[in-house]
A and B are shown apart, each in its own frame.
Chain A
Amino acid sequence: MSSRRTLRKLTNVVALVLSGIATAIGLFFLAAILWTLVKNGVAGLSVALFTQMTPPPGSAGGLLNAIYGSVVMTVIGILIGGPIGMLAGTYLAEYGRTARISALIRFVNDVLLSAPSIIIGLFVYELLVVRMGHFSAIAGAVALAIIAMPVIVRTTEDMLNLVPQGMKDASTAMGAYTWRTVTSVIYPAARSGIVTGLLLAVARISGETAPLLFTALNNQFWSSNLGAPMANLPVVIFQFALSPYPNWQQLAWSGALIITVSILVLSIAARIAVSSFTKGRH
């Protein structure tokens, strides 16, 4: 009896130690990456980083055009992908919940969700860049929109499904048409959840490099022309980090830090939004 108990205690200790080691290994690499990023990135933080253009090799400069380009293309990408994704998610959750086509849409959406982003870059390259004859910011924004869309479809559908059926029934029983129930009752009830989905989509697309390489490419200078190539953080990091020039490498580290911190801030904002969402419903 006591030997069995000893065995159990031993098994428990072994399992505890093993899972502790696994956790420690995972956290170690995460911390190492963040530490390297902060150590190398902070060194390049300066006012010039946010006020000057990407420089030629060997001279001083900043990332202003790349930061601007990333913000512009991300915002346009969400402006295109957000409404389409939300409407598709609304269809799946409220109109076509059990329609046969909905199962197909969900499946295709899941495939799109996990599609390598370089494929989407190539697709938009064929669709827009080849036809326009040159790289452009708008092509970049479209590529980002296509990447954001399946994320938004999924989160919108999930969030709308969290709205209690009783609330929807109450509106239906009042004699409201479905569109009215959706816009007046369901959207307000799911608002923070939907916003969270949009924020997650922003976090997802703000670090994408491959699709922009095929669409917006890069621009050494300030450009606010959507029809022309536009600088952006991921491609600048890609280019500068691979270069032999120390000042470019430093800018790449700082750019990587900027993206990471932005995504961190967005994720925290999303978590706060989610917790206020769940609180509001109880």
Chain B
Amino acid sequence: MNKTPDNNPSRPSLPPPAADAAEAAMEEALGAHGSAADRGARLLKPSGRRGGIPAEPHSPLALDSPPIAHPVFHCKDVNMFYGAKQALKNITLDVAPRQVLAMIGPSGCGKSTFLRCLNRMNDTIPNTRTTGTITLDGQDIFAPEVDVAQLRARIGMVFQKPNPFPKSIFENVAYGPRIHGMTRSRAELDEIVCSSLTRAGLWDEVKDRLNAPGTGLSGGQQQRLCIARTIAVQPEVILMDEPCSALDPVATARVEDLIDELRAQYAIVIVTHSMQQAARVSQRTAYFHLGELIEIGETDRIFTNPRHRLTEDYITGRFG
């Protein structure tokens, strides 16, 4: 188990003001100005440039600048088939550490399928086949010696619909540490549950009813519970499949703030149907279309200066 000091949830998390300050400092460092929402609104105004956009995609990686030095995931020529139907075509992209990568595109474009390739969740669907290479920290995830359960333990996943287990709030968060034998004592487990719920921004709301069923929480609380459950096992990367599509705007804002905080420690890959959300939470954006990766690059650049006509058509709402 990877126990770098940076990555240890048993360490008490920063109190909220300090976290805000750290976040502000990070935004400063990344050259972002104004609030996340402002930035989203600004980014959604395309430059209006119509001429000179190539009709055919360049090699998507060539569009990606600068190249990622130490990618968490490195994916090369990933093809994925449901039976005879090809769902992904030669996807090549890197996932950078401590960054949010948003994957956008019309329904059926393959973004969720690709997300599920990263932790081999497609293995659970019969008649599927994946080719190409995906490495996690340099290790081939399809290598025969890889134990897929151990692999998934290193990759957290948050689903579209909040899916707490039919257990208490405490047991939901304790599930991962329990099944992976991460704790030796009850006190240690209590500590992990407390810090995970705190980091997921749920502790204050549930601390008095940890034994109440997780299914009794509101939708937004359930989704934050699922995020707490995910980070309790100290994953290296978090995959999110439209995590806010079942939530109201207030709950969505809370989860987005949470994603922004988690970015300090984790690589996050998020699939979203909301371009505003992609603009608000991500540093890099990938645009998928009919199973192909059309364009990937820094979020600012994708939303202000798309290089491919399909990307521009999508972000300006001409289709999709």
Residues in A lying within 8 Å of B, measured CB to CB = 97-98, 164, 166-167, 169-177, 180, 184-185, 188-189, 280-281
Contact = CB atoms under 8 A, between A and B. Distances in A.
Contact of B149 (A98, A164, A177, A280): A177
A167 B222 CA distance: 13
Interface string B163-195: 111110000000110011000000000000000
Contacts of A185: 165-166
Contact of A175 (B124, B153, B165, B167): B153
B75 to A, nearest CB: 18
Nearest to A282: B215
Shortest 5 CB-CB distances between A and B: which pairs? A175-B153, A166-B163, A173-B157, A175-B152, A98-B126
B163 A175 contact: no
A95 to B, nearest CB: 12
Contact of B166 (A97, A169, A176, A189): A189
Nearest to A177: B149
A176 B179 contact: yes
A164 B163 contact: yes
Given A184-B175, A184-B179, A174 B166 contact: no
Given A174-B230, A176-B175, 10 more contacts: A169-B124, A173-B152, A175-B149, A175-B150, A175-B151, A175-B153, A176-B179, A184-B175, A184-B179, A189-B166
Contact of B159 (A98, A169, A188, A280): A169
B175 A174 contact: yes
Nearest to B161: A166
A273 to B, nearest CB: 15
B43 interface: no
B176 to A, nearest CB: 5
B233 interface: yes
Given A97-B126, A180-B179, A184-B179, A170 B152 contact: no
A166 B159 contact: yes
B56 to A, nearest CB: 37
Contacts of B226: 170
Given A166-B159, A166-B161, A169-B121, A175 B176 contact: yes
B176 A174 contact: yes
Contacts of A281: 166, 215
18 contacts: A167-B163, A169-B163, A170-B164, A170-B226, A172-B124, A173-B119, A173-B152, A174-B152, A174-B153, A174-B175, A174-B176, A174-B229, A174-B230, A175-B180, A177-B149, A184-B175, A189-B166, A280-B166
B133 to A, nearest CB: 21
A167 B176 CA distance: 14
B159 A170 contact: yes
A176 B126 contact: no
A268 B166 CA distance: 25
Contacts of A98: 126-127
A169 B155 CA distance: 13
A98 B175 CA distance: 28
Contacts of B150: 175
Given A175-B233, A177-B149, A167 B121 contact: no
Contacts of A188: 165-167
A171 B149 contact: no
